[in-house]
Structure 1
């Protein structure tokens, strides 16, 4: 008898439907899986055979053939265990074939028949909804998959429980979307002593999603400032939450609630490889820049990262997506993140302190910062020096606005931008706008135009640098509630562009 069911194969964020066909036919006893399976999929036959034996089900002395269609699509991962087992049980007439044929399933199987959680439940549920099919998955994945309300999701603890459900002996309840845990108290901006200029730069970066580069001696507070940036950003929208959660679902890093409700904050170590940052590996999985999609990517000790890793960032910063090229496929992941980089001014970190700097100053600083290429540095909208904190500042009580107050101003500026770019689906903040629309929305007065042209000529700003100054000035004007970009807005934007030693 021939039976079939469906599962998915992952290509980036896309979960492509896979038709799992099983035939039990006369011939030499055997169990074969065809359709370009990898090692994990091929080993499914041994796990399934043993699990069925534990349930008291013996395979007949016939030829069992499982075909995974389309045959030219690579099949990777242990989540093929459950669909292969269901198609086999349907072919043996142990479960209703019609119910199995209208289902999408994913799940790894233990030797005793228990179902083990797998990655990618959220994209799989999206595909099941598109096919108007039921999704069967391990019980541990049910809360995640149930967030896709258009699909009927049933999480099962074991193959036996799923068989009882399909035969009507003991129906499984529909999975319920996981409960979102309350946010832990985020660190407050007032905890940072001094650094008023850096706090202002954080506010501008959050309001327009402008990339930020900070340079200063050790202990100046660069990491503290970066850690408080997510608390200034507005909450994820429903669409942003779903898009970001799908990436984390594939990476297996989702919260227990099954969906992200906080903007991600990724901070890779400077020893990370190109594949870890940009994505790749055996299964071309998402990297840190994609895991930071719609959130913050903080790269401390920026010049210490390998040169190849730093140069990998250039294209994703511009396009908002990364392409992982393989011989048989090109996988794309979104990666529209806010990059915050921090660096010491030199290897010893004391370049700005004449009494403590090494004997190679200032050449050591030039060599150290020279590891960052000009084109990459040109992509930072905001650059600032973070000076050492004075002892007198440490003794003072907290001052300045709290994160909640700053976040309210950021949210108001974001609302202005959302209304401005409502007719442009690919543009949500000022950092995204370009071309004629940028010149239209960032039009400045005569005084502002004059200072911008003179600064461009004197400091030889590139065309990218010129446009990024306009974008930052537009954000500063939004924070001020001004329809027109004026001279003070241009001047402040330029002050973050022309910092020496950056």
Structure 2
């Protein structure tokens, strides 16, 4: 007899059905798993054997063969334990032959027959729903799976309770979808004294989802500004929360199986490797750029990252996806993130300060900033210099406007963008000005006549690339949204140009 239980293999955040076929036949006692299993899947034999022993069952002294079909795709992870155990229980006639029809199963087994949490339950539940099947998953992952909404979820905490449920002797309660309430205090923008131009740039970046590069000496407040960005961003929509949670589920970072409405804020250390930042490794896991999807990726001390690691950011920043190509796999993860980067002007950090700069200035600054390539600079929408905070600023009272006040203006600007793009091109699913491109951008961000002439002049004088030209348009559109205007004016274009590492006074003078 061959018993079959279906489970899921993952290709990125997409699921693929795998048949776990179990056969018990005559011959010398053996337990073999075939079908390109990795080490974790091969070790399932011992976990399954111990779990069955824990509930009072023993494997028959016969030849047991487990085939994972299709056999030409790699099988990775410990979530194959539960379907293998259920296939054995069907083959041993402990469970009725039809008890798992219409279900997929996944979960890791403990030696005490407990069913333990595994990564990827949410995308597995969504895949099961698309196949019009239910899902058997660990009890700890039940709330996560319930968000799929279109399939029946059975979430046992141990193997014995699952057997009783499938036999109909003691049914399990269906899990409920839960939201993670993040009540951690968020740093307030009022804590930052002075730095009005830098705070303005942070607000613009938050409103339009723009990339931002801050250059300034140590202690000028670059990291403080970045840390306050999450408090300015609107919560995730239901669709965005599902996208983010699917990636976090695959990475094993979903907290207690509950979804969060807080936008991701990822802050990797500058020693992070390229696979850690972009994604990859032996199992092609999502990297920081994907875990920051729809949120913020903050890279402090930008030039200290490895050159190859930074250059690998260029493609995800442009396309919104991280594509990982390996000999055995080609995986793509969503990576529509907002890059916030901070750096010192030189290695010592005090370029321009004659009393503190090193003896190699200004060559040290040129060498240090040259670690960032021109194409990466070109992908930054906003580039600002953050000056050192003066003693007079430090003695000022706290600013009147708090993060909550700014967040309300940012939310209004983002809602205006969402409504505009949903009306003009609902298929493209553009959510912010930073994502607009092509004809859509030309339609929504066309400046008035004075602004158009200023932009044409700036393209020539500043030698803007086509990418830089479009990024100026995106920022100008965001500035108009923050002001509540439908039209993009010359003042919006002038301020957008001032964020391209040009003297702001010179640009503002040009528009007058």
State the TM-score bracket (shorter-chain normalisation). over 0.9
Q: Does the 8 A contact of 1:233 with 1:407 survive in 2?
A: yes
Mapping of residues 140-219 of structure 1, within 5 Å: 140-219=140-219
Counterpart position of 2:137: 137
Bigger mean CA deviation after superposition, 379-388 or 120-129? 120-129
Counterpart position of 1:91: 91
CA displacement, residues 203-225 of structure 1 (integer Å, 9 cap, x when unaligned): 11111111000000111110110
Mapping of residues 286-435 of structure 1, within 5 Å: 286-422=286-422, 423-424=425-426, 425-435=428-438
Instruction: Return the alpha-carbon distance in structure 1 between the equivalents of residues 207 and 29 of structure 2.
Output: 66
Kindly indicate whether residue 129 of structure 2 is the aligned counterpart of residue 125 of structure 1. no
Quick one: which of 482, 488, 491 aligns to 1:488? Answer: 491
Counterpart position of 2:18: 18
Deviation (angstroms), 1:56: 2.1
Counterpart position of 1:457: 460
Q: Does the 8 A contact of 1:385 with 1:499 survive in 2?
A: no
Bigger mean CA deviation after superposition, 200-209 or 183-192? 183-192
Instruction: Return the alpha-carbon distance in structure 2 between the equivalents of residues 473 and 174 of structure 1.
Output: 50
Instruction: Return the alpha-carbon distance in structure 2 between the equivalents of residues 142 and 371 of structure 1.
Output: 47
Instruction: Return the alpha-carbon distance in structure 2 between the equivalents of residues 324 and 163 of structure 1.
Output: 40
Aligned length in residues: 500
Instruction: Return the alpha-carbon distance in structure 2 between the equivalents of residues 214 and 450 of structure 1.
Output: 29
Deviation (angstroms), 1:4: 1.2
CA displacement, residues 144-164 of structure 1 (integer Å, 9 cap, x when unaligned): 212222222222121111111
Instruction: Return the alpha-carbon distance in structure 2 between the equivalents of residues 222 and 449 of structure 1.
Output: 33
Instruction: Return the alpha-carbon distance in structure 2 between the equivalents of residues 437 and 129 of structure 1.
Output: 35
Instruction: Return the alpha-carbon distance in structure 1 between the equivalents of residues 443 and 143 of structure 2.
Output: 46
Q: Name the SS for the 1:491 alignment partner.
A: helix
Instruction: Return the alpha-carbon distance in structure 2 between the equivalents of residues 45 and 453 of structure 1.
Output: 69
Q: Does the 8 A contact of 1:178 with 1:256 survive in 2?
A: no
Counterpart position of 1:498: 501
Kindly indicate whether residue 442 of structure 2 is the aligned counterpart of residue 439 of structure 1. yes
Deviation (angstroms), 1:437: 2.1
Mapping of residues 210-229 of structure 1, within 5 Å: 210-229=210-229
Instruction: Return the alpha-carbon distance in structure 2 between the equivalents of residues 5 and 335 of structure 1.
Output: 34
Unaligned runs of 5+ in 1: none
Q: Does the 8 A contact of 1:264 with 1:296 survive in 2?
A: yes
Q: Does the 8 A contact of 1:87 with 1:100 survive in 2?
A: no
CA displacement, residues 383-433 of structure 1 (integer Å, 9 cap, x when unaligned): 000011111211211114211111111111112211221124332211111
Instruction: Return the alpha-carbon distance in structure 1 between the equivalents of residues 416 and 58 of structure 2.
Output: 66
Bigger mean CA deviation after superposition, 45-54 or 470-479? 45-54
Q: Does the 8 A contact of 2:32 with 2:64 survive in 1?
A: yes
Bigger mean CA deviation after superposition, 310-319 or 170-179? 170-179
Q: Name the SS for the 1:236 alignment partner.
A: coil
Bigger mean CA deviation after superposition, 374-383 or 449-458? 449-458
Instruction: Return the alpha-carbon distance in structure 1 between the equivalents of residues 367 and 448 of structure 2.
Output: 40
Kindly indicate whether residue 256 of structure 2 is the aligned counterpart of residue 260 of structure 1. no
Q: Name the SS for the 2:141 alignment partner.
A: helix
Bigger mean CA deviation after superposition, 194-203 or 50-59? 50-59
CA displacement, residues 28-54 of structure 1 (integer Å, 9 cap, x when unaligned): 322111111111111111211122122
Q: Name the SS for the 1:20 alignment partner.
A: strand
Bigger mean CA deviation after superposition, 13-22 or 77-86? 13-22
Instruction: Return the alpha-carbon distance in structure 1 between the equivalents of residues 99 and 255 of structure 2.
Output: 31
Instruction: Return the alpha-carbon distance in structure 2 between the equivalents of residues 51 and 399 of structure 1.
Output: 61
Q: Does the 8 A contact of 1:384 with 1:499 survive in 2?
A: no
Mapping of residues 275-286 of structure 1, within 5 Å: 275-286=275-286
Instruction: Return the alpha-carbon distance in structure 2 between the equivalents of residues 434 and 136 of structure 1.
Output: 43
Q: Name the SS for the 2:56 alignment partner.
A: coil
Q: Does the 8 A contact of 2:181 with 2:260 survive in 1?
A: no
Instruction: Return the alpha-carbon distance in structure 2 between the equivalents of residues 77 and 257 of structure 1.
Output: 18
Quick one: which of 443, 465, 470 aligns to 1:467? Answer: 470
Deviation (angstroms), 1:133: 2.1
Q: Does the 8 A contact of 2:28 with 2:63 survive in 1?
A: yes
Q: Does the 8 A contact of 1:6 with 1:101 survive in 2?
A: no
Kindly indicate whether residue 470 of structure 2 is the aligned counterpart of residue 477 of structure 1. no
Residues 428 and 271 of structure 1: CA distance in aligned 2, closer, same or farther (over 3 Å):
same
Counterpart position of 1:251: 251
Instruction: Return the alpha-carbon distance in structure 2 between the equivalents of residues 212 and 477 of structure 1.
Output: 18
TM-score (ref. length: structure 2)? 0.95
Instruction: Return the alpha-carbon distance in structure 2 between the equivalents of residues 55 and 200 of structure 1.
Output: 63
TM-score (ref. length: structure 1)? 0.97
Extract structure 1 runs of 4+ deviating beyond 4 A. none
Unaligned runs of 5+ in 2: 504-512
Residues 145 and 89 of structure 1: CA distance in aligned 2, closer, same or farther (over 3 Å):
same
